[in-house]
Amino acid sequence: MSDIITPRVLKGFRDFLPEAESQRQRLSATLATTFGLFGFVPIDTPILEYAEILLGKSGGETEKQVYHFKDNGGREVAMRFDLTVPFARFMAEHSHELYLPFKRYHIAKVWRGENTQRGRYREFVQADFDTVGVDSAAADFEIIALIRQAMIDLGTPDSKILINNRGIFNRFLASIGLAAKSVEILRTVDKLAKLGRDETSRQLAELSDGRTAGLILDFIAAGTSFNDTLDNLTRLCGGDNPDCDRLREIQSMAEAYALGDSMVLAPWITRGLDYYTGVVFETMLDAIPDIGSVCSGGRYNDLAGLYTKQRLPGVGAAIGLDRLVAALEAIDRLKPVGNPAIVLILNLDADQQAEYQGLAARLRQAGQACEVFSDTRKMAQQYGYAEKKGIEWVVFRNESDKANGTWKLKNLRTQAIEELAGAESVVASCRNLAAG
């Protein structure tokens, strides 16, 4: 009989080993730098909120996905399932302490109790960024430019930001008398890429009729260029209007910014979430489109309407960091993250313990990360340790080195061994290694 508890983690939850966690931290740090480049500032909020805050408006679908329970004091609480709703509460509570427009980013874990798949977990990190307190093309464009920069910085310049404006679609639907079914139609259209034209047409015909389905499909057809597509949309929804103008303004900024064809007008992109009211976007990686959008968002005209009378329009997006890591791994584009220490001091002689630590101290004082192997094990094991951790250099000394006060520095890859006069020489050599 055993009283050992089987170690396991919940479905959709994961442990991260050093290599994976290093990657996550690196990407996260990269994003923080990119956000800062655009003047976005960081915030954080609690992972647990009153259930009514998180479940307030969102009925059905999201409610089923939110982890909620009674805390030890009997309060109904819930774990945040995205960073936008907590942000809305945050703004309602702190807007008087802040300034508008307020541009914030928030990189943190969120939880959703839905079924798992590759790149789809129950606990995952989102990098959310929004500009609130302003409704302008400049703000919309800044989010797009930021997504573009983030994609470049993350190592996926070969990606496309698909953009659309829901307002245009709604105008179009109104013009053909289907405004009442806009939500269903938007959802159906959103699946065009996945279902294909025929199936989408069939489903649209169920919502309206065959002729209307054809009209809708014509409407969402892609043109030969951003402006060509936009001209088509403008014509089909009854001529110039503020929503088309917004896209034109964004496009002119994109040209000045030299975004090129990384920004695509995609009339079939609508996003399922019903709080978006203006431009919406998704970001697809050319190398692995199957994994889905790695950064999605859009404009909403009232962020915190549930919690305050102050009207806060905004625009923002969320990068799915874990999905991105899964994608980068799948296309083999994660840069290896080495061990922080590039030098291992081999521990071969029980009488030299003080010397090893003394050398390590010198190195560290010089800002040089190093390790002393923590036991006098066989050399093969110490070499193996260094290799597994990606440490390229080892320092050791044999009997004669010990007598002479010298050290040997060996490159594990080239096998080259260099004899060094003393600790200062080791420090100097390691400095060169780090620099070179």
Partner RNA sequence: GUGGAUGUAGCUCAGUGGUAGAGUCCCAGAAUGUGGCUCUGGAUGUCGCGGGUUCGAACCCCGUCAUCCACCCCA
* Distance in Å, CB of 260 to RNA, minimum: 22
Q: Return the number of the residue (246 or 397) whose C-beta is nearest RNA.
A: 397
Please list the residues that pair with 164 across neighbouring strands.
Answer: 280
| Helix/strand number for the chain, H first, E second | 17, 16
Q: Return the number of the residue (226 or 396) whose C-beta is nearest RNA.
A: 396
Assigned token pair, 391: 């440490």
Computed on alpha carbons and rounded to an integer, the radius of gyration of the chain in Å comes to 28
Cα–Cα distance, 271 to 186 (Å, whole number): 8
Q: Return the number of the residue (285 or 360) whose C-beta is nearest RNA.
A: 285
Cα–Cα distance, 28 to 319 (Å, whole number): 10
* Distance in Å, CB of 411 to RNA, minimum: 9
* Distance in Å, CB of 232 to RNA, minimum: 26
Q: Return the number of the residue (115 or 357) whose C-beta is nearest RNA.
A: 115
* Distance in Å, CB of 309 to RNA, minimum: 26
**By C-alpha distance, which of 434, 392, 395, 426 is closest to 412?**
392
Report residue 374 CA to chain centroid gap.
37
The answer to whether residues 276 and 299 touch, using CB atoms and an 8 Å cutoff, is yes
Cα–Cα distance, 82 to 90 (Å, whole number): 13
* Distance in Å, CB of 82 to RNA, minimum: 6
* Distance in Å, CB of 385 to RNA, minimum: 9
**By C-alpha distance, which of 181, 194, 176, 186 is closest to 277?**
186
Distant-in-sequence contacts of 309-314, Cβ < 8 A, 24+ apart: 310/92, 310/95, 312/88, 312/91, 312/95, 312/132, 312/133, 313/132, 313/133, 313/134, 313/135, 314/130, 314/131, 314/132, 314/133, 314/134
Q: Return the number of the residue (106 or 271) whose C-beta is nearest RNA.
A: 271
DSSP class per residue in 187-245: HHHHTHHHH-HHHHHHHHHHHS-HHHHHHHHHHH---SSHHHHHHHHHHHTTS--HHHH
Q: Return the number of the residue (8 or 211) whose C-beta is nearest RNA.
A: 8
Report residue 34 CA to chain centroid gap.
12
* Distance in Å, CB of 99 to RNA, minimum: 26
* Distance in Å, CB of 197 to RNA, minimum: 15
Cis status of the peptide bond prior to 267, with omega within 30 of 0 = no
Q: Return the number of the residue (61 or 93) whose C-beta is nearest RNA.
A: 61
Q: Return the number of the residue (234 or 283) whose C-beta is nearest RNA.
A: 283
Contact residues: RNA, CB under 7 A: 6, 8, 10-12, 61, 64-65, 82, 112, 114-122, 124, 126, 187, 191, 194, 271-273, 290, 292-296, 318-320, 322-323, 348, 378-381, 383-384, 387, 396, 398, 401, 408, 412-413, 415
Q: Return the number of the residue (245 or 329) whose C-beta is nearest RNA.
A: 329
Report helix, strand or coil for 374: coil
* Distance in Å, CB of 396 to RNA, minimum: 5
